[in-house]
Each structure stands twice: as structure tokens, then as C-alpha cells.
Amino acid sequence: MDQQHDEPWPAAGRAWGWVAILVLAYICSYIDRQILSLMVDLIRADLKISDSQFSLLHGLSFALLYCMLGIPFGLLADRMPRKRIIIAGILFWSLMTALCGLTRHFWQLFLTRVGVGVGEATLSPSAYSLLSDCFPRAKLGRAMSVFIAGGGLGAGIAFMVGSWLIGFIEANGPYGFPGVGALRTWQTVFLLVSIPGIVVALLLLAFREPARQGRVTADAPSWSAVGAFLAERWRFIVPFLLGVGLATMVALGTLGWAPSVLIRVYGLSAAEVGLPLGVATMIGISVGMIGSAFVAEALDRRGHAHPALTLSCISLILTVPAGIALALAPNPMVALVVLTLLLALANVPFGIVGAALQSLTPNAMRGRVSAIYLLCMNALGMALGPLIPALITDTLFDGNGRMVGVSLAITIAGAATAGALALAISRSNAPAVA
């Protein structure tokens, strides 16, 4: 039976408390997934693999089940307490990250990375649904952007803490653990970065889940109802999902290969590159996501139609010259400044378009629609974002690692142009927001 819930929105302190704890969870998830990109050459040397094989560890292995399992986890988010789903997911991905540190062969690391993706697939559908019950539509874009910016903070922290750990372990190691024996530097790093997630999972136990807002049902709508809802809006939703997926290729391709650009092109070590790269990552992603939320809110108040899609199109087009400038940067300082700008532009869409989709979706479908959104976004972004630059380097440039910046620029130019076009088509067919 349908029932209209008129419960008040949570108090601001409680609502932003949920944002804070979910940001911590997202930071932990991004540390566990992103730490790999700082250790490209360490892992390649130990496992005797190419850039293309490494890109499978970074992208395809993580995305393989992360994308597909978002759908059933989205259904669970529509039917059961989302806090429980998130806690279980954090504990599982932390365990899998620790197991990454015990692997000794390519396929072992590949499979444990798949496990990390399984655990992390629980977070976003549940968090998107939960935050939509903490904030009204006018404020949801800001909250979503702050949450998703946690990924940027996590990536930056992964670079900074990871580089410090690499330098410390290489100077004082190797370290051994009972029953395991001596571990390589990268293996020890995986074991250590798995610990913070467990702490966040314990903190979540103290939080009370907000009541679901709007019209809810005793049983979640069927998948056929969700399909019918999307089919009615296919002219909007298909180019929307394609555009966001291509935007994710730009963002994750840049994030995945930025350390290698600085290390291979300018001769910096992994220990040296972490702090400046981490700062650039945190500033760029946070400014792009949170700044775009404020701009979108201002445009919305002035009556502009679909400001999230407009801003996303513009930002994607601007990543093309920024990507070229990164490839041509004469020194690491200029490269870091350009990289900060590139990351800001590349990450404009994610908070604001995610909030826009939530505003167009009935409450009882938000978990599954969010999961479909994340599936399409990540199937392109996670799998192809790291892979395409690697394939270009290995084939077009005969494996010359110093050309990785050019490979990345080529990838950005193609994906960003196509993504901007898709989002422009989506905007022209977007329904009115209730």
C-alpha cells in the first residue's frame, strides 16, 4: 500500500553528520582502490607485467563486479536499512584490501581487487538514497557534491600517505608478518591501508538512519516498474548515462595515470611525488565538485533550466586543452598546476548530475536507479579510463612509458568531446524537475 510520509527533514546537524561519516567511508574506499596507481612500477617490476596488464588490475578487476553488483545492492537499499549495507560493505572491502597485500601473482592480485570492488559496490547506491532523505532538493546537490568530493580527498590522501609509507618501508624494511614471511613494499602498504575502514565501520554504529521521505510503499516497486519509468524518459536517460560514463573515463584516466606522468616524464620517485600530487588532487577534485554545486544552485535560483547538465558540458569541453597542456608541460611544477585545473574540470559533473537524477526519481526507486546510473558510469569509466591510455602507450608508442602524458591527452580529447555532445543531447530532452 502506498503511504505519504510527511515527516520533517532531519536537523541540519544530523544531516551533515551523515555527510561527514559517509565522506569518511568514501575516503577509505578511494584510498583502498587508488593506492594502486602510486605503485605502478613497483608492482610491474615484481609481477613482470606491462602497462596494459597493470591497467586491468587498476580498472577492469575493480569494475568487473563493482558495476554489476550495484544493481542488487541498489535493490537492497530500497528494501532494508542502508546503514547495515554500508557497514557490511566497508568490512568486506577492508578485508579484501588486506588480502591484496598477501598476493604474489598477477591473477591473485586481480581476484582480490575484484573483491575490493564487490565491497565498495555497496556504498554509493545506499549513500545516494540515504542522503536524499537528509536534504530537500534545493540543498541535495551541495550535499552530494561534498560526499563525492570525499573520493578526491581519499585519492589525495592515498597519494600522500602512500608515498610516505613507500619511503618509510623502503628505508626501514622489508617487514615480515607471522605466518606470511617477508613482504614487498607494495604488499605492506596494502595491509596498512586496510585498517582505517574498520574504524569507520565501527563509528557508523552510532548513527541513526533518517526516515524515508515522500511517497513510499510497503514493498519496493518491481523491476518492471523501474524499467517503465526509465523507458518513458529514454531520450533523456540514454545520452545522460553515456555522457556521464565518458566523463568518468576522463576523470579516472587522469587520476590513474597522473602519478606515472610525474614519475616517468620528470624522473621523480614514488616517495617524492606523493605530497604534491596529493595536494593537487584534493584541491582540484574538491574545487570542481563543490564549486560546481554552488554555481548550479545559483543558476537554479535564477531560473536557468538544468544547470547541472549545462555546467557539465562546458567543463568537459575545457578538459581537452587542459589535457594537451599537461602533456606539453615543461617541468613538474607547471604539470602539477595544469593537473589541478584538469582534475577540477573533469570532476564538475559527478555531484551535480547525480543530485539531478535523484530529484527526478521517486524515493522507492532511488537505490536501483542510482545503481543503474553507477553501472553505466563505471562500466565505461573504471574499465576504459585506465585501459585506453595504456593501450595507446603500448601500441602506438611501442611501450615508451615517457609518452604516457600524450596517451592520456588523446584519451581525454576523444572521451570529453563525445561526453559533452551526449550530455547536450540529454539536456535538450530533460524532463521538468518537480
The predicted model gives 285-291 an average pLDDT of 88
Beta carbons of 299 and 307 less than 8 angstroms apart: yes
Q: Looking at 105-119, 173-187, 253-267, 324-338, which range is the least confident one?
A: 173-187
Residue 45 CB neighbour total at 10 angstroms? 11
Which of these, 166, 329, 353, lies nearest to 248 by C-alpha position?
Answer: 353
For residue 4, is pLDDT > 50?
no
3-state secondary structure of 394: helix
pLDDT number for residue 59:
76
Beta carbons of 424 and 339 less than 8 angstroms apart: no
**Predicted confidence (pLDDT) per residue in 205-244, tens digit:** 999 998 887 655 556 678 888 889 888 889 999 999 999 9
Residue 284 CB neighbour total at 10 angstroms? 26
Tell me the C-alpha distance between 283 and 149, whole Å.
Answer: 10
Between 306 and 70, name the one with better pLDDT.
306
**Which helix (H) or strand (E) element contains residue 183?**
strand 181-183
Residue 224 CB neighbour total at 10 angstroms? 9
pLDDT number for residue 247:
95
DSSP secondary-structure letter at 313?
H
Tell me the C-alpha distance between 168 and 188, whole Å.
Answer: 11
31-40, 252-261, 322-331, 355-364: which is most confident: 322-331
**Domains located in the chain, CATH noted:** 9-211+223-428 (1.20.1250.20)
Residue at 245: amino acid letter: G
pLDDT number for residue 321:
97
For residue 425, is pLDDT > 80?
yes
For residue 55, is pLDDT > 60?
yes
Tell me the C-alpha distance between 225 and 220, whole Å.
Answer: 10
Concatenate the DSSP letters of all residues of 205-219 into one string.
TTPPPPPPPEEEESS
Which of these, 259, 243, 196, lies nearest to 430 by C-alpha position?
Answer: 243
CA 253, 258, 259, 261 torsion-angle sign:
positive
Angle, helices 234-260/223-231, rounded to nearest 10 degrees = 90
3-state secondary structure of 32: helix
For residue 3, is pLDDT > 70?
no
**Predicted confidence (pLDDT) per residue in 127-148, tens digit:** 988 988 898 877 887 888 788 7
DSSP secondary-structure letter at 221?
P
Tell me the C-alpha distance between 393 and 51, whole Å.
Answer: 8
For residue 254, is pLDDT > 90?
yes
Mean pLDDT (the chain, rounded): 86
**Predicted confidence (pLDDT) per residue in 87-99, tens digit:** 999 999 999 999 9
**Predicted confidence (pLDDT) per residue in 292-320, tens digit:** 888 988 888 888 888 889 999 999 999 99
Which of these, 324, 348, 340, 300, lies nearest to 405 by C-alpha position?
Answer: 324
Is the overall model pTM greater than 0.85, yes or no? no
